[in-house]
Structures are given as structure tokens and as C-alpha cells.
Amino acid sequence: MHRIRIAAQLLLGVILTYAGATHLTTSRIEFQAQVPTWLPLSPDFVVIASGVVEILLGLCLISLQRRRHVGIATAIFFVAIFPGNISQYVNGIDAFGLDTDRARAIRLLFQPLLVLWALWATEFWQPRKTTPPATQRDDLEQDTIYG
């Protein structure tokens, strides 16, 4: 199961890195259309900033370092961008092939799954593995050596 989670984490990292790159290049205009109008920031700034964050999160997921921290950060990011998906649905914005209310509503259902994917793949809910303090390790090693 651990290998499956690692593979899921790597896949999510690749997807986020790619999506972040498209924020900055080929899909920039479509992403701008998803930025809620009530947000007091330039849509272009939001798209660029979220693209950079996606790339960073993707690379962190791929690195397999500090998995639990990266997992919660990724989940929080998915929650933070959810208003853009809601805005796309409520305002009937066509982007990324989502050109019907039904398609946009189905897209909304996938956002919680992305949150769960990030947490599951990074073993957020698994008990932490702890290493005894150095003094206890030394005592354990001496007990093993001497008897």
C-alpha cells in the first residue's frame, strides 16, 4: 500500500507541476476567467501566483520530502482555489471544455476528491513514526551489545 501511495503522490506532483506551468503559458486566459469577480486582485496576478504555487507544490510532492506537511499544504491550496470553481459554475463560464452547467457541477464534485487525494497519498492520517531520543537509542544499543 505504501508504494501505491508514493505513486499517487508522484502522479499528483506531476499533474500539479504541469497545471502550474499552463497557468503561466498556454491556459492563462482560461484560468483568468475562473477568478471570482469579488476578489480584489488582478485576475492575471491570481493566475500567475496560483501557477507558481502549483509548481512549487508539485515539485515538493515529487521530492517526497516532508510528505505530511506538503500534503496538508496541497489540501489547503485545493480548498483555497475552490471559490474559482464555484464562480465558474455560478457564472456559467465556459473554460477547459466545461461548457455546460452539468459539466461545471461535476467539476465541483472533484475538488473534495483532490483534497482527499493529497492527504491520502502523503499519509497524512497515518501515525507518525517516531525515533527515540539519542540517549534512549544509546541505552538500547548498549543493552543489545552487553546483554
- Amino acid 103 reads A
CA–CA separation, 22 and 28 (whole Å): 7
Residue 16 has pLDDT above 80, yes or no: yes
pTM for the whole thing?
Answer: 0.80
The CA-based angle 130-132-138, given to 5 degrees, is 150
For the segment 26-52, the average pLDDT, to the nearest whole number, is 93
Number of domains in the chain: 1
First to last CA, the chain: 37
Domain extent, residue 137, equals 2-146
Q: What is the pLDDT of residues 89-114, one digit of tens each?
A: 988 888 888 889 899 899 899 999 99
**All cell numbers assigned to 76:** 489547503
Please say whether the dihedral angle defined by the alpha carbons of residues 8, 66, 20 and 37, taken in this order, is positive or negative.
positive
Taking the CA atoms of the chain, what radius of gyration do you get in angstroms? Answer: 20
Q: What is the pLDDT of residues 46-74, one digit of tens each?
A: 999 999 999 999 999 999 888 999 999 99
pLDDT for res 147? 47
